[in-house]
Amino acid sequence: MKRLFLSAALALVVAFGLSSAPASAGTITLLKSTFQHLGSGDSVDAEQIDQGSFQVEHDFGSHNTHFLDTFKFAVNLKSVLKFDIKTTGVIDHLDFNLYDHTGAGVPLKSLSISSDVGGDPTETIVKITGALLKSIVSEPFVFLKMSGAVCGCASYVITATPVPPALVMFLTALGGMVLVGFRRAKGGALLSAA
């Protein structure tokens, strides 16, 4: 048990050391934002937070059953592309569709988000890794299209960020240390029982 604790502590120290160094997680560059079919009292915003992330939002002033918000952006990442989607108010359905540079055809990634009847806030995390991330990075740019049906005073905010490589390395190392420690502890218990 002591070895397991020391291994976990060592992994934690190494990870914090790596994460305190400047992370070169990559860039996510918002190139263009288009909000179509805005309802009465709607407000919208799209901004590049830094070279690695952007945020877009749409506050709905009235019931809106037909809107299309399109965001064109370029991605240069080696780790993980993360979308944090937060909603407030009554969302009948909010469709998230990520397309290649043509902006048409079958989406690379899609999902539909709904709220409960009370319109309690929701948070949905979409993480893109592996082959899908490689195909997105190989595109000159990609399109994120949001559409759906929402009631008045509803809103969504999407923050696109990379997951720093140091965090991925830390979680992998910590998982490996726990697995090795567990196997050793289990093997030691079997030997003492014999």
Domain that includes residue 172, residue range: 1-22+164-194
CA distance 186 to 161: 40
State whether 107 and 181 are in the same domain: no
Please state whether the predicted TM-score (pTM) of the whole model is above 0.85: no
Domain count of the chain?
2
State whether 127 and 191 are in the same domain: no
- Mean pLDDT over 74-101 rounds to 96
pLDDT tens digit sequence for 142-191: 999 999 999 999 999 999 999 876 544 555 555 666 555 655 665 555 55
